[in-house]
Structure 1
Amino acid sequence: MFLFSPSVTPAVRSHLNAQAAFLNDMNKSLSRAYQELCQLNIQLGQTLLEESTIAGHQLLATDRPNEAFSIAASRAQPASEKLRAYGQHLARMAADAQVDISRVAEQHIQETAKTARTLADEVARVAAEETDRSLRHQEETLKNFRDPFQQGAWRGEMAAHGTMQHAGNGSGGADAASFQGNVQSAGQQAGVKAAKAG
């Protein structure tokens, strides 16, 4: 019925279309009732104008005051009959308009309620997905979060460990060799002392 942007979900689109169809039909019913009321008012105005014009011509044509009163009295009854008929037409039009509006509401209320339920379910589903996504994002943020003091200590441990490895891989090998030589010479010296003592 209407053009929507691609970001509008089908549930929103169907609900808006149902609302627009309901308002469109309701507007047609109200416009039709208003048009009938205007036509009835125009018809009443024309009839009363014709009656008053005829009565005015007759009053201007008469010479005697007795006839003027009788002419005015004779024209009063048809005018009151016309006003009574206008009231009846008005009541019938109001009843017809009410029936028409009730029919339109009955036609559209089920579809509108159905699309409203679908839209509410869609909104609830999207809200639940957004909540889950937000919770997952917060959990990931908490997992990746480190205390700045712990990060500094961790970096210091890593630097010390790297220095020890570097020392073990570089000049630390020579130190280990000299230590091993010292242990061997100390062992030999102890063996020589034991031989002399024996």
Structure 2
Amino acid sequence: MYPFPQSVSPAVRTHMDAQTAFLNDMSKSMFRSFQQICDLNIQLVQTMLEESTLASQQVLSADRQTEIFTAASSRAQPATEKLRAYQQHISRLAADAQVELARVTEQHVQNTTRTARALVDEVARTAAEETERNIRTQQEAMRNATDPFVRGNGDARGDGDAQRGQMEARQGAQQAAGQGGRPAGASTH
């Protein structure tokens, strides 16, 4: 197996390993089937060459024309049977290949499905976390954009002492106005 970069999550690694194992087993199965078909083809060609060599020898050694026809006809029937056997063997190999591929698929489908679910769950969790982080960032940006002169804790920015002094003076004037316009500390007679 090829090593994965450190940034790849364990769920992705597990899923990729399951997929790789599945593909490796499928390719091995297909290669075995292909090899069996090639072996069968080689065997057919060798048999046909042997048959044609024997037929050629009989035709060349024949003295009469009837012997030539007899030799040719005697080889036609076995060749037809061999081709029929070849077709049956090819059909059997194809059926066996399908069964093998189904077995490999069934063997890996549970593991691949499980790792795919884990991967989907991790992607969903990561997406939710990232969305939450983006929402918090946007909310903070909106707070800062709403009142650029207010700090995050609600205090006014800038010269805080001068502004506080002005606010206290206004509050004092309002209180004095509420006491009948008399300055604070003046006595009534």
So what's the TM-score if we normalise by structure 2? 0.78
Q: For 1:11-50, what aligned pairs fall within 5 Å after superposition?
A: 11-50=11-50
Instruction: State how 1:79-118 maps to structure 2 within 5 Å.
Output: 79-118=79-118
Q: Which residue of 1 aligns with 2:170?
A: none
Poorly superposed stretches of 4+, deviation over 3 Å:
none
Matched, 1:75 2:58: no
- 1:34 Cα deviation (Å)? 0.0
Q: Which has the higher contact order (CA 8 A, sep 6+)?
A: 1
**Which ranges in structure 2 are unaligned for 5 or more consecutive residues?**
151-155, 167-189
2-structure distance, mates of 1:68, 1:62 = 6
Q: CA deviation at 1:158?
A: 4.9
d(CA) in 1 for partners of 2:72, 2:136 = 90
* Cα deviation 1:64-123 (Å, max 9, x = unaligned): 111111110000001011101101111111111111111100000000000000000000
- Percent identity at matched positions? 58
Q: Is the contact between residue 2 and residue 17 of structure 1 (CA under 8 Å) also seen in structure 2? A: no
TM-score (norm 1): 0.75
The residue that corresponds to 1:4 in the other structure is: 4
The structure richer in helix per residue is 1
Unaligned 5+ segments in structure 1 are 166-198
Structure number with larger C-alpha Rg: 1
TM-superposed deviation, 1:124? 0.4
1:66 equivalent in alignment to 2:66: yes
Kept after mapping to 2: 8 A contact 1:18/1:111: yes
Quote the residue 1:145 is aligned against: 145
Cα distance in 2 for partners of 1:146, 1:118 equals 42
CA contact (8 A) 1:55 1:72 kept: yes
Distance 1:126 1:23 in 2: 28
Range moving further from structure 2, 91-100 or 17-26: 91-100
Q: CA deviation at 1:2?
A: 3.1
Deviations 1:9-51 (A, max 9, x none): 0000000000000000000000000000000000000000110
Whether the 8 Å contact between 1:30 and 1:97 is mirrored in structure 2 is yes
Q: Counterpart of 2:126?
A: 126
Give RMSD over aligned pairs.
2.2
- Measure, in 1, the Cα distance between the counterparts of 2:45 and 2:159: 101
Q: Please give the alpha-carbon distance, in whole angstroms, between the structure 1 residues aligned to 2:36 and 2:98.
A: 13
> Distance between the aligned counterparts of 1:111 and 1:33, measured in 2?
25
Q: Quote the Cα distance in structure 1 between the aligned partners of 2:136 and 2:57.
A: 92
Out of 139-148 and 128-137, give the one that drifted further: 139-148
Q: Please state how far the C-alpha of 1:146 moved relative to its aligned partner.
A: 4.5
Shift of 1:147: 5.7
| AA of the residue aligned to 1:42 | I
